[in-house]
Structure 1
Amino acid sequence: MPRNVVDVPLFTLNDGNKVPSIGLGCWLGSMEASLRAEEVCKKALAVRYRHFDTAAVYGSERGIGAAVRGSDILRDELYIVTKLWNDCHHNVREAFEKSLEALGSGYIDLYLMHWPQAKIDGKTLHPEEHPTFIDTWKEMEKLLETGKVKSIGVSNFSIKTLAELFPHCQVVPAVNQVQFHPYLPQFDLQEFCKAHGILLSAYSPLGAPPSKHGVEPAQVVLSWSVRHGVAVIPKSQSEVRMRTNLTPVDLDDADMKAIDDLHKEPGKHRSLMIKVDGPRRLLGWEFISKGLFKMPSSAADVPFFTLNDGNQIPSIGLGCWLGAAEASNPSDRAEQMAKKALAVGYRHFDTAAKYGGEQGLGAAIRDSGVPREELYIVTKLWNEDHHKVHEAFEESLANLGCGYIDLYLMHWPQATLDGETLPPGEHPTFIDTWKEIEKLLETGKVKSIGVSNFSVMTLTELLPHCKVVPTDRVSPVSPASRPPGVVDIYARAPPSPDEPTRLSLLTDSTITAIAKKHAQVLLSWSVRHGIAVIPKSESEARMRTNIALIDLDETDMKAIDNLHKEPGKHRSLLTQYMTVPLEIMGWKYEWLGWNQAADGAILE
């Protein structure tokens, strides 16, 4: 291009050709777009756009060509991009000539392979079937010999697909056109492309962060992409928006960092592409199973803890206990709650056979499209099933419908038979039950096993009989409940302040004073101590705050650590099962190794 009639930066490709950093995306939402494309393109040319991005499948090539030819603008002032559609991988030259004829532009500046997947007779081919994207690329390289195209490149290629392509290239792609925006800043892909001399071009580059520059949010997002060295092709049919999109603003380093960090907020690290075939599928190919097109996780950014078997657990999960065991519609409520949590970015869910919500949780997960490997699912063996561990496990697995369980816990050490709670010495003891749980690992259907509500005493009794040491234990832990000598790594959340008859951590003056400085305190305190937490909530707003950790300073940590030393505060806050004084679910506190009074106060 001898001159650029619009004041936007030019990027230089690896073949020496130059591309305007901002162009007009000419996908108009339907395949019957030729007449509309001509009118849109005329508006864009009038406001000095010179870079136009279309594709055979958009149906807009003829309209763009007509607008360009009717404009009296010199061809060498224009930059025209079009793309090879999936069903033409087996006849690249024919498809190229058809696009060139439709555009009527004499030559094409940049010709892209639209997607790596080929389609023949309406069927999408598997990655290894001919023509592969490697076969297709070799045919595209031949187009350069015709002199009718200046540069060739790819679109929607990942690091994996590019790495597979490179060894077979005579010509390295000049461009890789992908999604790139503040919610999906593919910096790893950009760095990979830079290292190989490939320019990243962004479709769907717009979001809507706030602006302090007195300009449109779209200008902020486009300027952010250009500042990162990414060519952008926003779509618009509005002349006003075309003008503002074409006017970058000068973002300072603080602005850049704020936008760079947007994707780290819960639920925001995501693709904005919604036209998919089904969960985790796009245009016939799976996102992950072939490793060829990997959509990023929208999971919240929380720390992971490593268990003693090497598996990792997110430090914050969602507790799926919905109140009384006979809660109304527990499955439906669990499904709705899990859907909210998945949208917020939760990936760790803690349920139990007794809760009645396994089926609802499973339904929400299956409908979400979140890949199974991103999820961490915990469920538990109830007391009345200690004599039939394998059967109870299979029932939970069927209810969840999730293929495998990440962590299976013995809910309590005490067993119940025919409605009667067995004393510690009677079969099945928790030692007998644990031996049956160990056998579940041989099935490959559970990754880790553990216990819940075990004390130092019950753990000490169990450990000499273990082939597999429990990876986890669940106990109600809080600053006011820290049994000496017990290390908890998996904790229920503190109680809700909505229960006025109970001592509440959430209204404690120490906690509220620290909360004035921070957004979230108790969960961050637990995670800082290396404890995975599973707060319960059906409120989306609370889910969001619960999963947002904050950095407590040493003064805050010490203040919370010492809470239990204040008079009347060293106590358990677990009350729902305490219907008989000094007993819980049929076992005396001493059998459990609990050193506490009937009201939950810890005995010193």
Structure 2
Amino acid sequence: MPATKSVKLNTGAEMPTVGLGTWKSAPGQVEHAVEFALKSGYTHVDTAAAYQNEKEVGQGIAASGVARGSIFLTTKLDNPDQKEPEAALESSLSNLGTEYLDLWLMHWPAPMTKGTPALADKTHDWLDTWKSMEKLYKAHPEKLRAIGVSNFSVEFLKRLLAVAEVVPAVNQIELHPSCPQADVVAYCAKKGIVITAYSPLGSDNSPLLTNEVVTKLATKHNVQPANILVSLHANTPNTTVLPKSVTNARILSNMKIVDLNEEEITELYEIDKTHHFRACHPDWTGWGSLGFPDCN
């Protein structure tokens, strides 16, 4: 299937396929990365309250001079804020310098206490958090264009959909050839939930960048290995992708998407049979791995 430029959400909105990820992008760098990306043609930016860089992302958006209506902006509700989602929403809007979010995600199904160290808050059910997010979405369409989740396994999605009045527009998960999460991808496709792939390269210094299958395809298509890994998701229906960089050349390079045929896509996903790993290892104190011991 040829690469797509956007994916339609269950709200009817179009979400740009390739966005700029900002996880681990430090203040002092991320505002420039966002500004440069938007000036260079990106129209999709992803951040989170937990990344502690929303203000800088907002500064980058403002400095770019790109009209807010031309940008698809996502942020996420942090675990310690699950009891107070309305206050958290207002904080994110203020930090980002925007009147609305195109997408607001529950970052993890793991309520935590405030303070240091943050501990599992077992007095609060994350399903109640979703119900609060639904109420805010319905009451304030001028502030929230769509709501969704992040890091949800099939088990958590089933629990959510059993009580949800609003089907999540997106489930953002770690996704790359060594972490295919095929069960989650298939379940979301069945339920009309768009997948957003984070860490599509396998994160920093990923072995995928030197994998023989990836490098072979990169040579064949005359692109960098990273382009093949990003293109894999752009060639997958119902999927958007978030390559992350704070380097101008890489930000530009990551925009280059190539069409992959079915045989090439199959070959990439077969990497998982011999080279299997996760870049993000959740181990929230008191919650454990939340049902993500691996990526199968």
Alignment of 1:148-297 (within 5 A): 148-206=143-201, 207-208=208-209, 209-210=214-215, 211=218, 212-229=220-237, 230-265=239-274, 268-274=275-281, 276=282, 281-282=283-284, 284-287=286-289, 292-296=290-294
Alignment of 1:77-156 (within 5 A): 77-121=70-114, 122-125=117-120, 129-144=122-137, 145-147=139-141, 148-156=143-151
Distance 2:36 2:293 in 1: 35
Give the 3 Å change call, closer, same or farther, for CA 61–161 of structure 1 in structure 2. Answer: same
Distance 2:169 2:287 in 1: 24
Alignment of 1:463-482 (within 5 A): none
Q: C-alpha displacement at 1:72, in angstroms?
A: 2.4
Secondary structure of the residue aligned to 2:145 is: strand
Q: Is the 8 A contact 1:62 1:102 kept in 2?
A: yes
Within the alignment, does 1:14 sit opposite 2:13 as a pair? no
Q: Is the 8 A contact 2:54 2:96 kept in 1?
A: yes
Percent pairwise identity: 36
Letter in 1 for 2:246: Q
**What is the match of residue 28 of structure 1?**
24
Q: C-alpha displacement at 1:84, in angstroms?
A: 0.6
Q: Size of the alignment, in residue pairs?
A: 276
Q: Is the 8 A contact 2:36 2:64 kept in 1?
A: no
Secondary structure of the residue aligned to 2:232 is: helix
Q: C-alpha displacement at 1:263, in angstroms?
A: 0.5
Secondary structure of the residue aligned to 2:197 is: strand
Q: C-alpha displacement at 1:254, in angstroms?
A: 2.2
Q: C-alpha displacement at 1:17, in angstroms?
A: 1.2
Distance 1:48 1:72 in 2: 12
Distance 1:161 1:254 in 2: 32
Distance 2:189 2:113 in 1: 33
Q: Is the 8 A contact 2:9 2:193 kept in 1?
A: yes
Q: C-alpha displacement at 1:284, in angstroms?
A: 4.0
Distance 1:273 1:59 in 2: 17
**What is the match of residue 47 of structure 1?**
40
Distance 2:264 2:286 in 1: 39
Q: Is the 8 A contact 2:119 2:284 kept in 1?
A: no
Alignment of 1:197-596 (within 5 A): 197-206=192-201, 207-208=208-209, 209-210=214-215, 211=218, 212-229=220-237, 230-265=239-274, 268-274=275-281, 276=282, 281-282=283-284, 284-287=286-289, 292-296=290-294
Structure 1: where are the runs of 5+ without partners? 1-6, 299-604
TM-score by length of 2: 0.88
Q: C-alpha displacement at 1:34, in angstroms?
A: 3.2
Q: Is the 8 A contact 2:49 2:76 kept in 1?
A: yes
Distance 1:39 1:109 in 2: 21
**What is the match of residue 482 of structure 1?**
none
Q: C-alpha displacement at 1:85, in angstroms?
A: 0.6
Deviations 1:507-546 (A, max 9, x none): xxxxxxxxxxxxxxxxxxxxxxxxxxxxxxxxxxxxxxxx
Q: Is the 8 A contact 1:89 1:118 kept in 2?
A: yes
Q: Is the 8 A contact 1:83 1:112 kept in 2?
A: yes
Deviations 1:105-144 (A, max 9, x none): 2211000000100111444336xx3321101001111221
Q: C-alpha displacement at 1:245, in angstroms?
A: 0.8
Letter in 2 for 1:98: S
Distance 1:104 1:244 in 2: 28
* Higher radius of gyration, 1 or 2: 1
Q: Is the 8 A contact 1:118 1:131 kept in 2?
A: yes
Q: C-alpha displacement at 1:8, in angstroms?
A: 5.7
Letter in 2 for 1:179: E
Q: C-alpha displacement at 1:61, in angstroms?
A: 1.1
Q: C-alpha displacement at 1:294, in angstroms?
A: 2.4
Distance 2:76 2:28 in 1: 19
Secondary structure of the residue aligned to 1:168 is: coil
Letter in 2 for 1:167: A
Deviations 1:523-573 (A, max 9, x none): xxxxxxxxxxxxxxxxxxxxxxxxxxxxxxxxxxxxxxxxxxxxxxxxxxx
Deviations 1:183-221 (A, max 9, x none): 011121111011111011011011322122110101101
Q: Is the 8 A contact 2:179 2:278 kept in 1?
A: yes
**What is the match of residue 204 of structure 2?**
none
Letter in 2 for 1:133: W
Which structure carries more relative contact order (alpha carbon 8 Å, separation 6+)? 2
Give the 3 Å change call, closer, same or farther, for CA 123–240 of structure 1 in structure 2. Answer: closer
TM-score by length of 1: 0.44
Query: Aligned Cα RMSD in Å?
Result: 1.8
